Structure 1
């Protein structure tokens, strides 16, 4: 079986490739150039040479900007806080890269994600489950994959912890064994989102008012791209008590501030739904739900409402953030997920798509 491995040159992809080789598969490396200044192709070439596998370097800068960077930036202008990794996995890694890998003759595309894949013997649907290493589990960012994408994906590291993977690499004398962890957002190396967005899109975000929940103006903000729900630092205004971003109103160009307790809500709504373990949600369903990548799963009930799903939590959740994904689990199994379109103040009507 011929397997293309998405190579970054790090310990995860290098070890995944080595394990597949040892299992008797024909392995090729594929790496993508996604933005200016990326160094992944250099490290990937070194890893491929050590493993003695061919490496195909693919220039994805144009499609990456169109599908990920532009979408990321426009979301911030709308007062959302998107997760670009979710979009990249669906559109780029298991979208364009999987297509290119298949054109290169590969049967599967393997990555170094810490997740497990299996099939539901009853329904025949492909499933994604959490990885063995709870601290490294990446199932959250793969909830939007289609059945076709999962069918042609392999995740060799799902049954290993990160330290076990490093040990496997050291035992094989891979130069990537002690490589550093990858950064949170690959195309923003200094984590200065606002400056990156201004530069990438060639426009700034208009200043406006800070208000409280009653609409009373309590200060001025620098532009919506500088803020996210739950933020306390960097407001640029002092109030004599801790104040947080509770909601963002792009229609009125307002940032609504509140105290810590004002950030909690027991309900959210989500759209752009994708189901993995289910064909569709036909009625109320008890789940565990994660409202951001590093959040702990929380007990909730899902209710379908037209093209949305309402998520009713047993206990209030802090800083529900439009643009982030909410992912639903049944134990270790990813049921599906969607993009949050509500916050403490309820549904953001400006984020709803026309039927």
Structure 2
């Protein structure tokens, strides 16, 4: 079939000159003719397919590992592509629910996947714009009567046509406090997730055990979330790959000694409290850069380009993790050394 015969008009391209920032042009007004039962439809000719593949390739490039997460994202993209194809044949289907739950530890890529998911849903015409509006409890829950509803509705208005990403969503539910206003947020979300499902996707995110309690206590909310996606902690090997990518992205390189030292650092740091996966790793590399800068300045001589881009074993071994082999005590409220476990 030719491109004209495919008629995938649900696709909304990127904004063009003259369009308001962040908004896509209006879709074409005329819908393509319904195809006959013996017609053939080439999905590769759908312009949205090409954008989906580019987005998935970007997801693969940005995130190490997470094979199960990436598989689920591909399945969701495939479902929406097939729904578009069914519509071309006049096959009716209920609009699939895209509200999601991302569970996993800190630094496991939940926010990054939410951003790519918004790109996918926009490319497939499911949402009007590739927007992710991120909020926490503090953005939604008020401090007094009548304060919560306006804050929550403002957040929903900002996310309209895109994705509302609620991080640490379980903090909305505090059964120990009868006067807490978090339940009001949940009630508003329940209503909006159902009535505005054609213009809004909500993604709840947080630690697995706490999210399980959160959804168990709010069955109405759980029933509206179609996709529960688990983000596992990164392995030591995956973190080493991520470290190389992070350094390269900042135009740094780890010499062989630094690679060995960083491997030892991760073995120690991963065993300490409050390790935050890629987030802790990024903090550790930032501190390596601080130690490198101090080391180079103290040379008091002209510097070569190679020296400016190279992190050495000395820059890694300067971490407090190597100086303090004892476990960091953690209080009942979870407080302890800052989450990267490095120099204060």
**Fold shared per TM-score above 0.5:** no
**Larger Cα-atom Rg:** 2
More helix by share: 2
The TM-score, its normalising length taken from structure 1, stands at 0.30
The TM-score, its normalising length taken from structure 2, stands at 0.31
